[in-house]
Amino acid sequence: MAKHVIASLRDFPAGTRKLVDVRGRQIAVFNIKGEFFALANRCPHQGGSLCEGRLTGLVEASEPGKYRYSRRGEIIRCPWHGWEFDVRTGKSWCEPSKVRARQFAVSVAPGSALVEGPYVAETFPVRIEDDYVVLDI
């Protein structure tokens, strides 16, 4: 499994999301209060873009007229037909055991911990001698 840097932490503040393309896959990455989650950007219903959905919360009712709103900003609603998915797990709200958006692992890593890529440009030492720029090849 290869690592792909998608953004600097500074450019990805809490409450925002990014649509990234990694090896031909569109992935919606969410920063929910400083925690990062990544879902396939394809709604399992008919393929709507989850990244364009509205982030909402969870409404639960113990009895008619009494409801509780929680988990603000952790449920993504597909913009096409309104199916809702838990951003933390990818599970749908309508059928959590069968219908889910595919999840991908996402984490925050210090720049020093990232492995160098496989491609390195050829470099040559350069020095300055009495006002002349000299390239050693």
Residues in contact with ligand FES by the rule CB under 6 A: 43, 45-48, 78, 80-83
Taking the complex as a whole, the smallest distance from the CB of residue 105 to ligand FES amounts, in Å, to 23
- Residue 72 or 81 with smaller CB distance to ligand FES: 81
Taking the complex as a whole, the smallest distance from the CB of residue 71 to ligand FES amounts, in Å, to 20
- Residue 6 or 100 with smaller CB distance to ligand FES: 100
Sequential DSSP letters for the chain: --------GGGS-TT-EEEEEETTEEEEEEEETTEEEEEESB-TTT--BGGGSEEEEEEEEEETTEEEEEEEEEEEE-TTT--EEETTT-BBSS-TTT-BPPEE------GGGSPPPS-------EEEETTEEEE--
Taking the complex as a whole, the smallest distance from the CB of residue 74 to ligand FES amounts, in Å, to 18
